[in-house]
Amino acid sequence: MRLPAEPRRPPPLLLVLLTDLVLSFGKETLQTTAVTPQFQKNMDSVDFIYLNILEKKVLNNSEVSVEYLCSKPCIVSLEAVASSEFRTGVPVYRRRWKDEKNLYVSRTRQVHLKFPSIMVYRDDYILRNSIIVHSVILYAWISHKSASNYDDEQNEDYQTAVAKNYTFLEAVPPFERPYKDHKVCLQWGADYLWMLQANRIPQCPHETDGVQVLDFIYASSGEKTGIVKKFEQFENKELETVRQHQIDYPMFTVSIWLYLLHHCEKDLCGILYFIDSKEMYGTPAVFLNEEGYVHIQMHLMRGDDLAVKTSFSLPLKQWFRLDLSFKGGQIEVSSIGKNLKRHHHQSFTFREDFYYDDTAGYFVLGGSGYVNGIEAFFGPVKYYRLNVLDTEQISNPLHDKDTVEQIELYYERCMDIQEIVYDYRYIVRQGEKTHRSCYYESYYLELFHKYGEKSKCDGFVWGKELREKYHTLFKLLQEMDFSSPDVLEDGSDTVVEVGRRIFEKVVKGLSSANGLSNLGSSIPLLVDSSCCGYHKASYFLAVIFETGLGVSVDRIKGLLYSLVGAQGNERLSVMNLGYKHYQGINNYPLDLELSYAYYSNIAIKTSLDQHNIKGEQAFVETIRLMDDELLKAQTKENGDVFMWLKHEATRGNAAAQQRLAQMLFWGQQGVAKNPEAAIEWYAKGAIETEDPVLIYDYAIVLFKGQGVKKNIKLALELMKKAAAKGLPQAVNGLGWYYHNFKRDYRKAAKHWLIAEELGNPDASYNLGVLYLDGIYPGVPGRNQTVAAHYFYKAAQGGHIEGTLRCSLYYITGNMEDFPRDPEKAVIWAKHIAEKNGYLGHVIRKALNAYLELSWHEALLHYILAAETGIEVSQSNLAHICEERPDLARKYLTTDCVWRYYNFSVSQVNAPSFAYLKMGDFYYYGYQNQSKDLELSMRMYAQAALEGDSQGFFNLALVIEEGNSIPSYILDHLEIDQTLHSSNTSLLQELYYRCWNNSNQESISPCSLALLYFYMRVLWNNVLHSTLIYFMGTFLLSILVAFAVQSLSGNDSEDATRPAQQDEPTLSNDLSQQESNPQNPLVTS
């Protein structure tokens, strides 16, 4: 039993009211600080200073315009501070002037900046030490000081300034700088020697505050999952100093491309927000509300929160860019079209100081455990951590324009299709209503309606052009029965139901004997099904175009339908994208945070799906097509194994009852899922036998009411009975009962501690929930550290929710004991996602088709499963393509064997035989793939590390062929090269390990190879002995002489006999050599 825990929620999002104020001002609400209008300039005006530079580059004689206002006699100061690779915070320019007369008057002064030559010029014969500048910051400030203070230290002056400002100057790389005119003439020899080495200055990378948060399209389905990003402190000390100074005066810009499908269905949906180390919303928090307005929330220095919303709504089904900039208490929000023209703009100004530290937590794009994400496609996202930029200054182009346009075209087409389906259903329904009024007047008409041909619309109201464009859809609509009860009255549900029917018709055709030959004609139908919102069809299309199944490979369409399916929450589509980004294959960029966003979505669903006994689900089993024993164990309801189990269960065999119930409840071992029948066996076993597992399982279904009426009283009696027999999960179940039904946390904790000591992972997780919720008896408040410890222990025991918790800790890095590790987070989330029952259903269909020799259906469903990243499906598909190469060549554009064995060995849980296969491919070369000896040895070594003796055997034979194994591979195998420096010693070690990892109770190739090796060593040692060599030569001479003498007298009578005996023997030897050519990597 598992106890779900409510995560600690951030403070409630502030609801704001839109008022009819001037756009340049903030919106004053019940929870919003009042705004100070910008036009109030009088004698109480505060001092200010602004910098305006036309070209923000480090150039000699750069001109800067300084606008300032002083309320008292003041000193205006300018200072440029540079940072290089070796030094930071070096002043390179200073300028000061006094202004004692022009008070309360805005003044502007032009200043020419002059920098050291080594910063602005390129190296030449005279200037030899130009430096690579990482960043230059120009500071400006005003101090209320008299002339006597004019010579004070400027650093101290800046800290006490009444007004200050700064801007970044872009450093010019050394090779892009001009040469300095030194007004001297070099001798031609010196000039020639310098030109030979003029362009040898290395160009080092420099740190910048601009971060590309997302560079690839992300499909957000509106679930509580999204992309998690965490930012560290700057390595550049000067930039880090600026960042820390801006904690109470934020200056940053965010630019987000979006293709919005719907406005938020609930109160608010997440676009981009910051979660601090205490799991509370920070600055900024940007959401979308039900009306399409942007809700922006900030965390204030005094501790509470402030929120506003825009007066404009975001557009639907078109690409646009949302730009937000924060400068102190001022917020600028802009909506930019695909043509980069501004659609909307709004400003908010506040007197409040915002708190902003982007390293004290993490950012989220989309959804999280606290809020649902938006239903949209995210495009590129750019974040400027220290700069406020205008719309024209933001560099965030919309990449991959082909995919962007395909998404637009897809939804335009789908709008037409959905409208046609909805209107067609409405017309047919109206016609039925008209006819139905006549049926009660005529018994014949009533019978005709009941048993005759169903109503359809022959007289189309659509134009000829539209009918020709969607002729396949109109034909299918005419064939459908819209009077069926499964076609609901609601329009949107009707459209999805039509999509389901189209899809099932296509799949039925593709699963037939030669179904894949009709794949080309099925694509338009699958497109129509996808447009109707049935996204299993979208995933089919994605796989078809990405793998070239029956068509040419089309990466753009493959990506399109993968994204569409994932946005529509199709589980296999989401897993496909998670896997591709995890591995960085098929032109998908390697992006662990993006991969986690997809995998965590399905991992959460896996936990929920296991509690739902309905739906097309099956237990995910690891059954390899090369394992004959496991294949023989597969059965069906009329199979021998099932019938035998049923016979034994009827006789009262508790083990048979338990296995039979599990097979029926979860859909295991080839048996169709049948929870009702499973519960009957649970009940029978619990009543008739004393088996604690059956008693516990029956108690569970009674507690939850899964397939049977709830009976808490009987369930409790059974649970106590199973617990009394020492069953750990039953003890945990009692704790769950006291927690859920009695709210007695003391008794719950007591039972969970006992179950946890017995090794029950559910109990570990439940104890963690008590600590997380702050309700553990005798312990005040929440304790996330102890909770995380219990969650980790539960995850180690295979607990799904515990594993999910730990993966979240690893992706956010908000827990001290869980340092941020995106790769580990992805691996843990992937592990849970691959247990999803809907995926198991596809794998089971593929296996059943294979056992029934339905090759087309098996190939189709194994491809669908393999593209989600399931290793067992990948290796099984490669095996089918080896077994039926004709089928693979005919229907797959990609090389099936190479592709899926290659995918298999890239997995964490790859089998050893896949490594051996890829090792052989690299050793001999495979079709268009060239030979690679080093890669082949790496594959053999990995197989050896998996405990496969064949890996050691193949490595030994590689050495026998005269090759050497790289030292890093030997280190990986933990072979000491100092002890095994010679090939003989290394061969002995490899053959010994080969024998040690093989079956030692019988004669194996490894044992024969080891024996043969020792015999060769012995013989070589014998031959190297001089004395024995001469004695052997002498004895051999005597034997030869004796043989010649004895045979010389029998030449006449035995001349033919030896020839007749030797000829067939030689012939047989030759035939064996031809049928078994020498193979240095023969499978043992």
**pLDDT, tens only, 135-181:** 899 999 999 876 556 655 554 577 788 998 989 888 888 778 888 88
Does the bond joining 284 to the residue before it have cis omega, within 30 degrees of 0?
yes
In degrees, rounded to 5, the angle at the alpha carbon of residue 93 between the alpha carbons of residues 90 and 95 is 135
Find residue 375's DSSP bridge partners.
221
Q: How many CB atoms lie within 10 A of CB 742?
A: 10
Tens-digit pLDDT profile for residues 848-863: 899 889 999 999 999 9
Measured distance CA(493)–CA(533) in Å, rounded? 9
Q: Which segments of 814-866 does DSSP mark as H helices, in order?
A: 822-833, 837-851, 855-866
pTM as predicted = 0.76
Q: Predicted confidence band at 84 (pLDDT cuts at 50, 70, 90)?
A: confident
Find residue 422's DSSP bridge partners.
none
Per-position b or e across 645-660, b if 16+ CB within 10 A of its CB: beebbeeebbebbbbb
Going by C-beta distance under 8 Å and a sequence separation of 6 or more, which residues neighbour residue 321?
255, 256, 257, 258, 335, 336, 337, 340, 379, 396, 398
For residue 903, pLDDT beyond 80: yes
Indicate the DSSP class of residue 23.
Answer: T
Q: Which of the given ranges, 375-389, 439-453, 681-695, has the highest pLDDT on average?
A: 375-389
Tell me the one-letter amino acid at 371: V
Angle (deg, nearest 10), helices 675-688 and 654-666: 160
Query: In Å, how far from its chain's centre is CA 1016?
Result: 54
Q: Predicted confidence band at 1065 (pLDDT cuts at 50, 70, 90)?
A: very low
Report CA-CA distances (Å) from 1080 to 310, 445, 965: 73, 81, 15
pLDDT score, position 30: 31
For residue 520, pLDDT beyond 80: yes
Proportion of the chain above pLDDT 70, given as a percent: 81
Q: Are the CB atoms for 937 and 965 separated by under 8 Å?
A: yes
Write down how long the chain is. 1084
For residue 128, pLDDT beyond 80: no
Tell me the one-letter amino acid at 488: L
For residue 1067, pLDDT beyond 70: no
pLDDT score, position 1071: 32
Measured distance CA(623)–CA(620) in Å, rounded? 9
Tens-digit pLDDT profile for residues 249-268: 899 999 999 999 999 988 89
Angle (deg, nearest 10), helices 871-883 and 837-851: 20
For the beta sheet containing 281-289, the strands, ordered from the edge strand earlier in sequence to the opposite edge, are 226-229, 361-366, 268-276, 281-289, 293-299, 305-313
For residue 112, pLDDT beyond 60: yes
Beta strands in 350-405 (DSSP E): 361-366, 375-384
Rounded to an integer, the average pLDDT of 979-985 is 83
Q: Predicted confidence band at 515 (pLDDT cuts at 50, 70, 90)?
A: confident
Nearest residue to 604 (alpha-carbon basis) of 835, 796, 814: 835
For residue 1063, pLDDT beyond 60: no
Q: Are the CB atoms for 36 and 28 separated by under 8 Å?
A: no
pLDDT score, position 1033: 60
DSSP 180-242: P--S----HHHHHHHHHTTT---------SEEEEE-S-EEEESSS-EEEE--PPPSSHHHHHH
Report CA-CA distances (Å) from 372 to 15, 19, 315, 683: 17, 27, 19, 41
Give helix then strand counts, H and E, for the chain. 39, 20
Rounded to an integer, the average pLDDT of 463-472 is 72
Going by C-beta distance under 8 Å and a sequence separation of 6 or more, which residues neighbour residue 405?
none
- At residue 293, φ and ψ (nearest 5 deg) are -80, 155
Q: Which of the given ranges, 163-177, 620-634, 798-812, 926-940, has the highest pLDDT on average?
A: 798-812
3-state secondary structure of 149: helix
Q: Are the CB atoms for 112 and 78 separated by under 8 Å?
A: no
Measured distance CA(473)–CA(476) in Å, rounded? 5
- C-alpha count within 13 angstroms, C-beta hemisphere, residue 160: 11
Q: Are the CB atoms for 460 and 467 separated by under 8 Å?
A: yes
The overall average pLDDT reported for the chain is: 81
Per-position b or e across 631-644, b if 16+ CB within 10 A of its CB: eeebbeeeeebbee
pLDDT score, position 64: 92
Tens-digit pLDDT profile for residues 689-721: 778 888 888 888 888 877 778 888 888 988 898
pLDDT score, position 453: 55
Q: Which of the given ranges, 434-443, 867-876, 1033-1042, has the highest pLDDT on average?
A: 867-876
Rounded to an integer, the average pLDDT of 3-32 is 36
For residue 1076, pLDDT beyond 60: no
Rounded to an integer, the average pLDDT of 489-517 is 82
> What does DSSP say about strands 210-214 and 281-289: parallel, antiparallel, or unpaired?
unpaired
pLDDT score, position 711: 83
pLDDT score, position 1041: 60
For residue 886, pLDDT beyond 70: yes
Q: Are the CB atoms for 59 and 119 separated by under 8 Å?
A: no
Top-confidence residue, 40 or 523: 523
Tens-digit pLDDT profile for residues 324-371: 999 988 999 999 999 899 999 999 988 888 899 999 999 999 999 999
CA dihedral sign, ordered 795, 800, 801, 807:
positive
Measured distance CA(717)–CA(725) in Å, rounded? 13
Measured distance CA(971)–CA(434) in Å, rounded? 83
- C-alpha count within 13 angstroms, C-beta hemisphere, residue 594: 26
Measured distance CA(162)–CA(143) in Å, rounded? 6
